[in-house]
Amino acid sequence: MTHSIRTQVAIVGAGPAGLLLGQLLHKAGIDAVMVERQSPDYVLGRIRAGVLEQVTMDLLDEAGVGARMHRDGLVHSGFDMLFAGQRHRVDLAALTGGQNVMVYGQTEVTRDLMDARTQAGLPSYYEAQDVQVLDFDTDHPRVWFQKDGESYEIACDFIAGCDGFHGICRASVPRAAIKEFEKVYPFGWLGVLSDTPPVHHELIYVNSERGFALCSQRSATRSRYYLQVPMTDTLDQWSDDAFWAELRLRLDPQARADLVTGASIEKSIAPLRSFVTEPMRFGRLFLAGDAAHIVPPTGAKGLNLAASDVKYLSQALQDFYLERSQAGIEAYSGRCLRRIWRAERFSWWFTTLMHQFPTDTAIDARLKEAELDYLMHSQAGLRSIAENYIGLPLNFGSPAASTPAF
Ligand code: APR
Ligand code: PHB
């Protein structure tokens, strides 16, 4: 027997993109059913970046889930850049007319969104198997899946593919209809989470002769650190002691003295990738978040881009249901991609500037140091970093004449 379900929007994937979309649609009075492959605990177990732009904070408020973020999140008005043994502060607030970022882990954002969905009693199917998206090139798309040995079919008006980089939505699009752009970096990030006070009250991005490092945090008592490592490294090569010893070597004397070490509570190695899919809509299937694009984590744009996609998508669906207009749907892909490409550019540039590449020679290291020296001593350079770091607005000017129509 197949259980038949009818809704307006079927959301595939309950990561931050799918959950935020569900909440924004609920606020707008649009029905949605969510289908997720994993269990809620599995989804909450993923540790990812934790810097929210103002646009993302505003969206979480609009979705009605901002209270805990405002209470427990850490407002940061700047960060440090360390190179050639010297630390320099990028004063985000002073450089951008008072804008800040919020340090609040993606796990917490996900938990707040999940709790809100449960409280509102909105339908979600976790641990769904063999999820398939069907007929999205017609006016009657369907999502099919199995759960606990039974079959389910959701008949809907639209499918939102929020199922991440390894999901099935992008993979279900005919190859001839999609263009993918990809760059894989020749190194990874080894991350450690520890219940130790952060080495500094703000983040420190480090360009050192031994490779990139990042000192980040989750709270006044929980730190997150990263080291650039070759992708061939494995976790058993990195004991906690080895991690702290290498981090020390990449820091300046002050940070070295301030660093408090302790047992890791999570340790992982993640690859770095730049990836974009064009377009992001195929008939009645929309891609959003990591399903459509990946940025390397330098600059922490991943979650913020997922949030802006979802904002454009919820606006498009509101145009359709409340105004009977197709305009937002037609514009969705182009609006998303314009903001995505700018964030891709910043993330790629910041990654390249701060990391050592295996092909770099002595001159590359000097050129990067010279660029950093220029940037840190130029108001124009500092402002350029700051305005990209705090995030571009959702609507930034009219489209350039050459903007392709996706
Ligand atoms: N069917 C249903 N759900 C699926 C399927 C599938 N076939 N495949 C994957 N999923 C689920 C995953 O289990 C995951 O929970 O889709 C969800 C996708 O969530 P994320 O990978 O977190 O992607 P997204 O919601 O777009 O969030 C983007 O995550 O990687 C970071 O930097 C990125 O912070 C950004 C954020
Ligand atoms: C993190 O805290 O995990 C983090 C912060 C900033 C980044 C990347 C990751 O640029």
User: Domain containing 46 — which CATH number?
Assistant: 3.50.50.60
- The pLDDT value recorded for residue 174 is 97
Q: Mutation test of ligand 2: which of 46, 48, 51 has the most ligand atoms closer than 8 Å to its C-beta?
A: 51
Residue 333 lies in a domain: yes
Stretch 369-374: mean pLDDT: 98
347 within ligand 2 shell (Cβ under 6 A): no
Mean pLDDT of the chain, nearest integer? 96
| SS3 of residue 52 by DSSP | strand
If we measure between CA atoms, which residue out of 270, 283, 289, 281 comes closest to residue 229? 270
What is the pLDDT at residue 49?
Answer: 84
Q: Which atom of ligand 1 is nearest to the CA of 165?
A: 21
Ligand 2: distance of its center to the CA of 299 in Å? 7
Rounded to the nearest angstrom, the distance between the alpha carbon of 289 and the centre of ligand 2 is: 17
- Report yes or no on 86 lying in a domain: no
Q: In the block, which residue shows the tokens 């408020």?
A: 61
**Cβ proximity of 339 and 308 under 8 Å:** yes
Nearest Cα neighbor of 3 from 151, 117, 195 is 151
In ligand 1, the atom with minimum distance to the C-alpha of 16 is 25
Q: What positions carry a catalytic annotation?
A: 76, 205, 297, 301, 389
DSSP structural state of residue 170: G
Q: Is 289 helix (H, G, I), strand (E, B) or coil?
A: helix
> What span, in angstroms and rounded, lies between the C-alpha atoms of 286 and 278?
11
Whole-number Å distance, alpha carbon 12 to ligand 2 midpoint, is 26
Does any domain span residue 288? yes
Domains contained in the chain, number: 1
Q: What pTM, to 2 d.p., does this model score?
A: 0.96
In a domain, 109, yes or no: yes
In which domain, by residue range, is 18 found? 2-75+102-181+273-356
List, as one string, the DSSP characters of 173-234: S-GGG-EEEEEEEEEEEEEEEESS--SSSS-EEEEETTEEEEEEESSSS-EEEEEEE-TT--
Distance 49 CA to ligand 2 centre (A): 4
Query: What digits encode the pLDDT tens for the residues 155-169?
Result: 999 999 999 999 999
Interacting residues of 361 by C-beta distance below 8 A, sequence separation 6+: none
Q: What is the pLDDT of residues 216-243, one digit of tens each?
A: 999 999 999 999 999 999 999 999 999 9
Q: How far is CA 50 from CA 140, 244, 396, 405, in A?
A: 38, 21, 24, 33
pLDDT tens profile 2-47: 999 999 999 999 999 999 999 999 999 999 999 999 999 999 988 8
- What is the bridge-based pairing of β-strands 79-83 and 86-90? antiparallel
236 within some domain: no
Pocket test for ligand 2, best of 216, 222, 264, 303 (most atoms within 8 A of CB): 216
Instruction: Give me ligand 2 centre to Cα 78, in Å.
Output: 14
Indicate whether 352 belongs to any domain: yes
| CB of 66 sitting under 6 A from ligand 1 | no
**Is residue 394 a part of any domain in this protein?**
no
Does the pLDDT at position 404 exceed 80? no
- In a domain? residue 388: no
Secondary structure string (H, E, C) spanning 115-160? HHHHHCCCCEECCCEEEEEECCCCCCCEEEEEECCEEEEEECCEEE
Report whether residue 304 contacts ligand 2, using a CB cutoff of 6 Å: no
